[in-house]
Amino acid sequence: MGALNGESLQAALRLARWQVQRVAQRVLRTWGTGPVLLAVAAMLPLLSGIALFALSGKASAARAELAAARRAPADTRAGLPLDETETLARFYAQLPVPDALPGIIEDLIRLGGEQRVSLSVGEYRVQSDALSKAASYRIRFPVTGDAAAIQRFMLEALNRYPTLALEALSMRRENIGSTRVEANIQFNLLFARGAEGAR
């Protein structure tokens, strides 16, 4: 037997209510309130059966919908590519190539100057994992300047290079009233492997 849809369920409930009212009015006229209560009690199993039948139909429809959603390709469900390797390939394609690293360092130094932050000669170290197609380029800059300017420099650098991460930051100032800060900023830039010789 097919599941009840919303309209047929409402029609069945209206019919059951009408039947209960009709029987209740007839019994009330003939025998009084006691038998009316008995008639209502007798109709309760019928009403609960209709409700359970409707709920089981809704549950079946929900199960069918869920099964259809599971069979649908991943890209139609969540806007994701069908193949996870495609997602990974897109990620690796966004990484800077090894030849771009010196230009990125120069750009970071120029960016520091634009923000009126004095960057000393930095330290650079490549770290790679043989199992990964990506490597990391650790960049440590000793900097001096206004605390707000240093913060602007870091935020601008992180916004400009999506694969750049702030790994460590230490700051100190001469006294509590000084706005000039000495800081050590350590960035970690993820890049495509193959630059182990780049320094």
> For residue 20, is it within any domain?
yes
Give CA–CA dist 161/98, Å, rounded: 14
> For residue 16, is it within any domain?
yes
Same domain, 179 and 141: yes
> For residue 125, is it within any domain?
yes
Task: Give pLDDT tens digits for 145-163.
Answer: 888 898 999 999 999 998 8
Same domain, 97 and 66: no
Task: Give pLDDT tens digits for 78-128.
Answer: 555 557 777 777 878 888 888 888 899 899 999 988 988 888 778 888 887
Give rounded-to-5 percent helix, strand, coil for the chain: 55, 20, 20
Please report the pLDDT score of residue 75 as a whole number: 47
Q: Give the pTM.
A: 0.53
Number of domains in the chain: 2
Task: Give pLDDT tens digits for 134-145.
Answer: 888 899 999 998
The residues near 119 (Cβ < 8 Å, ≥ 6 apart) are 108, 109, 112, 113, 141, 142, 143
Nearest CA to 164 among 81, 114, 100, 84?
A: 100
> For residue 138, is it within any domain?
yes
> For residue 81, is it within any domain?
no
> For residue 198, is it within any domain?
no
> For residue 15, is it within any domain?
yes
> For residue 112, is it within any domain?
yes
Same domain, 50 and 102: no
